[in-house]
């Protein structure tokens, strides 16, 4: 793949999904485009670009973005965020008596993050009655399909405490075999709703307010304008005092925002809920 063609694919990924592919990623782009070439029986990446231009349905563009986007995740990744989530849910439900909690996993990939959020909240509530729902979004239809299935190979559960495996997963296949896998139990699955969403294209259809937003390890793929639009939209959706967790390798220092720094990679809506209630 020559440089001119590489730049065309980069521009397409940026214009349609905000994905910023830097110089030096030629081999990555070529390898992932090759998957679509094989699927379509095409011989050259240039043919693939022409194919997408002719595809008025836009379906192939979605499949291109599926293969070009990076999807790495696991259960309880960056575990301190789930400790913060548990503390916040306890504060809202057990201390303040809230009965409705809304959460958003903005880049849910194959589902490990939103399911971990659901497990964390179930454990934190300790059986207390509360209506909590998690919206899980991703740009990849392929990842969303895997997430909705809720089935994971045994090796993908290495970060899950053993007690949680028995409580929140159902084993499928013979233990120790290549077919051994685990399915999310309905008590967890029913708390999560999966939807396709392009984070580079706000405003989003959700109205909010959202109590907790996890937008982790996705902004590193965006350039400055896209990050700014995304953070501004998250601020719009966050409830007063709402919580935002970003990836540990990410920062908000380069974007304008009114979020209050709590600790590394954790922020809160700077308009505190109690202040608003006192002023009403």
Question: Could you give the angle at which helices 26-40 and 45-54 cross, rounded to 10 degrees?
Answer: 60
Query: Which residue carries 């836009």 as its tokens?
Result: 58
Choosing from 32, 142, 185, 236, the catalytic residue is: 32
**232 token code pair:** 């501004």
The full 3-state SS of 183-240, as one line of letters, equals EECHHHHCCEEEEECCCCCCCCCCCCCEEEEEECCCHHHCCHHHHHHHHHHHHHHEEE
C-beta separation of 4 from 15 below 8 A: no
Cα(162)–Cα(131) distance, rounded to whole angstroms?
A: 27
Choosing from 36, 66, 88, 138, the catalytic residue is: 138
Catalytic annotation on 32? yes
Catalytic annotation on 272? no
The residues annotated with a catalytic role in the active site are 32, 138
């Amino acid at each position: 793949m020559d440089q001119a063609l590489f730049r065309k694919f980069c521009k397409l990924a940026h214009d349609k999904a905000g994905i910023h592919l830097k110089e030096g990623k030629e081999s990555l782009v070529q390898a992932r485009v090759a998957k679509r070439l094989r699927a379509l029986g095409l011989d050259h990446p240039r043919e693939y670009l022409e194919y997408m231009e002719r595809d008025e349905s836009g379906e192939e563009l979605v499949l291109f973005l599926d293969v070009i986007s990076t999807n790495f995740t696991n259960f309880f990744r960056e575990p301190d965020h789930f400790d913060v989530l548990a503390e916040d849910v306890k504060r809202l439900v057990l201390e303040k008596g809230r009965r409705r909690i809304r959460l958003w996993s903005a880049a849910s990939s194959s589902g490990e993050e939103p399911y971990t959020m659901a497990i964390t909240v179930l454990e934190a509530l300790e059986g207390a009655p509360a209506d909590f729902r998690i919206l899980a979004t991703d740009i990849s239809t392929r990842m969303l399909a895997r997430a909705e299935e809720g089935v994971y190979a045994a090796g993908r559960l290495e970060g899950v405490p053993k007690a949680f495996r028995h409580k929140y997963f159902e084993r499928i296949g013979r233990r120790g075999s290549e077919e051994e896998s685990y399915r999310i139990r309905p008590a967890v699955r029913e708390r999560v709703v999966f939807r396709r969403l392009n984070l580079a294209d706000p405003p989003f259809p959700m109205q909010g307010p959202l109590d907790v937003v996890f937008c982790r390890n996705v902004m590193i793929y965006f350039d400055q304008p896209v990050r700014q639009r995304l953070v501004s939209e998250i601020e719009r959706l966050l409830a007063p005092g709402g919580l935002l967790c970003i990836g540990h390798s990410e920062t908000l220092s380069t974007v304008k925002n009114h979020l209050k720094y709590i600790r590394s990679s954790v922020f809160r809506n700077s308009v505190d809920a109690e202040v608003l209630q006192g002023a009403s």
